[in-house]
Structure 1
Amino acid sequence: MELQQLRYVLAVAETRSFTRAAERCFVVQSALSHQVKALERELGVDLFARTSRRVEVTAAGEAFLPAARAALDAVERAAAEAASAAGEVRGTLRIGLIPTVTALDVPALVGRLRDEHPAVRVTMRGGGSDELVAAIRSGELDLAVLGLSDTRSPVGVASRELAREPLVAVLPAGHRLARRRRLGLAELADETFADFGAGTPGRAQSDIAFAAAGVAREVAFESIGPELLLGLVAEGLAVTLLPAAVVPDDARTVVVPVVDGPVRVEHLAWSDFNPGPATLAFLDLLDA
């Protein structure tokens, strides 16, 4: 069993496509398919069920993937530690991001990291705060930017607070409250809301604030990202609460501060169990 075969298998499992896996691994598809098939023959099981249009991980594949990922991570970590001992930072830094990051200029930080440590490979993925914390704990991510209510802190990971900001009301430009200088939550009680999914940390910020104010509300539209929420507001279908920094200039919408509104706190979280050299190098950039 070769490390390259493990990389190919993980790429196929993550992309659900031999074509996209080959593109990710910078190899021709026939070579990748041949190596995956060779590994399946060695193991005596099919890791994937495939047709010309569809690829799915088999039960044997699901059982194989966690150990394969751990083995590959261990090898990459060993190489990174050895390089670090020789004064070079290398390895892969896996970053998770909520859809509404405002406290960090992540592209600029990644650019600085690559300038100072060109041997570091950076990958990113989006997700909700709970999902990202779970991924850090399981070793799938090295660090993540989270957004939580001001009543909650990350659990089971190391973290630092980046910023806290009140959410603002985003209203259609022609809304009856659009000319107000500030609002209270009670004044929004009868409005139709667009918000993040029920039970998510992004939604909890507003749910907690409305509950504390003793105000009920109707959430008719849910989304995993702010773009759809803002689009619904622009069409006059709903109002929403978001950090002001993620609301673009748009003549169809108006931003109004909310005096008793939710407060969102952004955190940077990382594994508190032996963080790797690339993670430590990223953290050093924040203190530079």
Structure 2
Amino acid sequence: MTFLLLKQLKYFTEVITCQSFTNAAEKCGISQSAMSQQIRALEENLDTELIRRKNRKFYMTPAGEYFYRHGLVLLDEAERLKKETARIGRQINQRLRVGYSKYLHGTELCRAAALLSEKYPMMELETAAGYAEELIDMLCFGGTDIILCSPKPGDLQDFEYISLTKGRYFIEISERSPLSALDYVNIEELRRIPCIIAVPADQRERQRDNCVNMLGLQDNILFADTPEEARLLAAWDRGFLLTEETGERPGQGDIPLRRIPLCADGKQLKREYIVCWRKDREDGFVREFAEILQKEYKKQNL
């Protein structure tokens, strides 16, 4: 594909995407008349009509629809080729290593990563999920540059951090359970009901301690290997599923479970989540990513 054809393809896709010659021309930095000339030249080059005009409006011909869809793929490949060639040529080795809690949904994290990638397209991203203690260790020993977690106060020595959000605790319980009629449930009301938690075998004792010590739940815990297994057990009315909401909640589908706030003395249980990094590892990218992430969480907390 010649450079001229690639350029004309870009103009054509912008016209279709914007549904306007004027807006497409402004976006591409050329005049409307120049844009029209480029589209006509493209059609002459291909010897086929791509756009048909009628009553000051236009629509794509079948050939135009084919050219548009496949053209977007080609433009994406060309942009990736350009970026990778530039990265190799300049020997850029910029990267950001992000560790995040397994309890975080990741929606805000994904948006923050997309925004940083848009600004620094050459930067590489590495991620690792873990529990708070694992993430702190990774940060301390250089395994990550920045982490999102809910640490203990003693974990914050030698770290810079920004508060992101408060995780709110819920239970998910079978719709067949009498407790499903409640607007909220207190910890004391769950004494005799097993708490179902999805966690790997090597993390179970730690999670047991968290449930007993931090949340005040009884040592009546039923472990599952996967979130799917945990929800099946809850739907089977074997106990309640302990969950935590930290941001924008992904769709859960039509699951026969009732989601109820978990409270102590009538107040919903919460814990703070932060983004933190080492004081001796504060480059521009790390703090900038932290501030972008904070803005994304603020949008959900408004």
Equivalent in the alignment of 1:53: none
Structure 1: how far apart are the matches of 2:223 and 2:117?
Answer: 40
Q: How does 1:179-258 map to 2 (within 5 A)?
A: 179-195=181-197, 196=199, 197-200=203-206, 206-211=211-216, 216-223=218-225, 226-244=227-245, 245=249, 248-258=252-262
- Cα deviation for residue 170 of structure 1 reads 1.1
Q: Which has the larger radius of gyration?
A: 2
Tell me if the contact between 1:90 and 1:278 (Cα under 8 Å) persists in the aligned partners. Answer: no
Could you list the per-position Cα deviations for residues 96-139 of structure 1 after superposition, in whole angstroms to 9, with x for gaps in the alignment? 12222148611111111111111211111111111011101111
Task: Return the offset for 1:234.
Answer: 2.6
Q: Secondary structure at the match of 1:139?
A: coil
- Cα distance in 2 for partners of 1:109, 1:204 equals 33
Q: Give runs of aligned pairs for residues 39-188 of structure 1, distance below 5 A.
A: 91-102=94-105, 105-148=108-151, 152=153, 154-156=155-157, 157-188=159-190
Offset of residue 222 of structure 1: 4.9
Unaligned stretches of 5+ in structure 1? Answer: 1-82, 84-88
**What SS does the aligned partner of 1:216 have?**
coil
Q: Is the 8 A contact 2:208 2:221 kept in 1?
A: no
Q: 1:93 to 1:210 in 2, by over 3 A?
A: closer
Give the count of matched residue pairs.
194
Percent identity reads 14
Quote the Cα distance in structure 1 between the aligned partners of 2:108 and 2:208.
23
Label 1:103 to 1:162 Cα distance change in 2 as closer, same or farther (>3 A).
farther
* Structure 1 residue 152, shift from structure 2 partner: 4.3
Shift of residue 203, structure 1, vs aligned partner = 5.6
Range with bigger deviation, 134-143 or 246-255: 246-255
Distance 2:149 2:219 in 1: 25
TM superposition score normalised by structure 2: 0.56
More helix by share: 2
Task: Judge conservation of contact 1:100–1:226 (CA < 8 Å) in 2.
Answer: no
User: Could you list the runs of 5+ residues in structure 2 that have no partner in the other structure?
Assistant: 1-89, 296-302
Any idea what SS the aligned residue of 1:269 has?
A: strand
Q: 1:266 — aligned with what?
A: 273
Give the equivalent residue in structure 2 for 1:6.
none
3-state SS of paired residue (1:181): coil
Q: Which residue identity lines up with residue 146 of structure 2 in the other structure?
A: L
Task: Report the alpha carbon displacement of residue 275 of structure 1 after superposing the two structures with TM.
Answer: 2.0
- Residue by residue over 1:133-155, the C-alpha shift from the partner in whole angstroms, topping out at 9 and shown as x without a partner, is 1101111101111135xx74643
How well do the aligned residues superpose, as a CA RMSD in angstroms? 2.9
How far has the Cα of 1:198 moved from its partner? 4.0
Q: Distance in 2 between matches of 1:247 and 1:262?
A: 23
1:282 aligns with 2:285: no
